[in-house]
Amino acid sequence: MRKGKVIKCPICGNENYFKPSRLKKNARFCSVKCANLALIGCKPNKGSFKKGQIPWNKGKDFIQIRGTNHPNWKGGLIKCRGYVFIRMPEHPRSNPGGYYPEHRYVVEQKLNRILKSCEVVHHIDGNRSNNSLKNLYLFSSKNKHDKHHGNQYNRKNPILKPNI
């Protein structure tokens, strides 16, 4: 014989069995979704339109403002995990959103070629948003970059000077 209780969810009406440990925590809802709906005071959506009702936006044209015309445009620069990304949809190695890491672009401009995918650009001072040439070091492989960081923690790290 089970010691819990069957309680009806006040939001969706489903009946659910709750263990005694859940009953101590004042369990009343069948799911997190129903609990959240109760917090904001809503009933589950069973269709917001009645039959024959026409939505207010049917047949209206909406202009999508993108890029430089959008009020939130910040010049095509975004920051992610400390790195600065530039909007460059035409670059062959840009991400699906059309952004490319600025530190890689700076090195590419200096070398006049596109970096190989295996090449790693290292920030000497550790500041990922400092993309001056004096702060960038180009490793020919991820393995060499990892060895540099391994030496850094063992205190055998040679001081890097820009090699670009």
13 pLDDT band (50/70/90 cuts)?
confident
Predicted confidence (pLDDT) at residue 154 exceeds the cutoff of 60: no
In angstroms, the CA 88 to CA 75 distance is 11
- Report pLDDT for 121: 94
In angstroms, the CA 7 to CA 27 distance is 9
Tens digits of per-residue pLDDT, 85-137?
Answer: 999 999 999 998 899 999 999 999 999 999 999 999 999 888 999 999 999 99
In angstroms, the CA 102 to CA 135 distance is 13
Residue 128 DSSP SS3: coil
Q: Are 16 and 7 in contact (CB under 8 A)?
A: yes
151 pLDDT band (50/70/90 cuts)?
low
Residue 137 DSSP SS3: strand
Predicted confidence (pLDDT) at residue 148 exceeds the cutoff of 70: yes
Burial 71-88 (b: 16+ CB within 10 A, else e): eeeeeeeeeeeebbbbbb
- Report pLDDT for 6: 83
Residue 19 DSSP SS3: coil
Q: Are 148 and 160 in contact (CB under 8 A)?
A: yes
53 pLDDT band (50/70/90 cuts)?
confident
Predicted confidence (pLDDT) at residue 156 exceeds the cutoff of 70: no
Predicted confidence (pLDDT) at residue 41 exceeds the cutoff of 80: no
Burial class from Cβ neighbours inside 10 Å (0-12, 13-18, 19+) for residue 131 reads buried
Q: What percent of the chain has pLDDT over 70?
A: 84
CA proximity to 114, closest of 84, 88, 142, 96: 88
Threshold 0.85, pTM exceeds: no
In angstroms, the CA 58 to CA 77 distance is 36
- Report pLDDT for 46: 58
